Chain A
Amino acid sequence: MAAEALVPSSAAEAVQLFGDGKDITVFAGGTILMPEIAAGRLKPARTLLLHRSGLDELRIDGDVIRIGATVPVAALVDGSNELLARFAQEIGDREVRAAATVGGNICATAGLGAQRGDLGAPLIALGARVRSDGKGGERTEPVEDFLAGDRSGRLVLEIEVDAPKGAWSAQTLRRRHAHSYSVANVAICSNGDGLRVGVSGIGPAAVRARTVEQSRNAEDVLKDVDPVDDALASAAYRQKMLVVLTQRALDEVGKA
């Protein structure tokens, strides 16, 4: 491989080398990119490896958790935020979680025949914010906006997560063995004056389901999401299951 491998030693250097993200492949944990390279589907010419950029800090700042982009998914499994832990523990297996990163998870696009980016659902439900840099400079935005926008040209630096302010529910559906990808995920947080509903595992990016937040009618989750067919599950099955998962989450949040 004649790839040029750049290893910045600070976040600032990483941002500077990333530029506007053109013609550069960002390596966080590598768990998504290495299989693509092994299969010959990805042949990066320039790579930016973040493992020395100091982006792997997990800091607790009062009620806010600041998760660096390259914090491993494993760190969330035993972490203080139980909603995140519930989703994190389903990703891959122990060894994959030790290498996979939170930033990599939310920047992931759909795989060949499987969906990714599971953490998007609880992060949306928790009202998390993504701080990123790149084309257009540094900005902080809600996770759902980051995911819905044009992610090319953005280098994720940090994710800020508030502790849940009220009841929450984690509903995950996958095949029954380790490191299976998702069929569908729903996360709901209630904070007294409203709900936040995040859905992941059903398409190329996690989505905020605003209609059901207002109506509290589980079927309305389908008004904001467009599940795909893939190797694991059909769109039709996902649609049916999403309604069930949403109902369960609404019930759990409602009971608390």
Chain B
Amino acid sequence: MRVYQALLQAFAWASAVLVGAMALAVTFDVVARNLGWANTGWVVEVSEYSLPVATLLIAPWLLHRNQHVRLDVLIDSLPRRLALLLERCANLLGMAICAVFVWFGSLLIIDSARLGSMVVKTLSIPEWWQYLLVPVCFFLLAVEFARRLRA
């Protein structure tokens, strides 16, 4: 349990640091380009790729802290037992949805790696790199929903 929480926290911090690094890199890029230092077209691309990475990294931590936007006012206004029942349904569905993402996310990675698809812009990277975090983060999200079911 402690390891699990530390992992979520570490992912969240990684996301925060990534956002800061993006801001610095893009600023540096503008300055460098205008001073004619270097052609740093790759900075733009790296910051593009960073956006889903930062988003996926922090998603499990947000769920753990119940920060994802949701309509909880209706649930809050229902009688307690009914609310608990609905809450359980929502968590069960959430877990199932995340399981689908883990499974098909993995398939996507395997498929793309087998085909050797590349994304060719300024940088060329294997397409499957982009999706690596999908199964990892959705697995953590599924665990989080399961944890709520037990609580």
A binds B: no
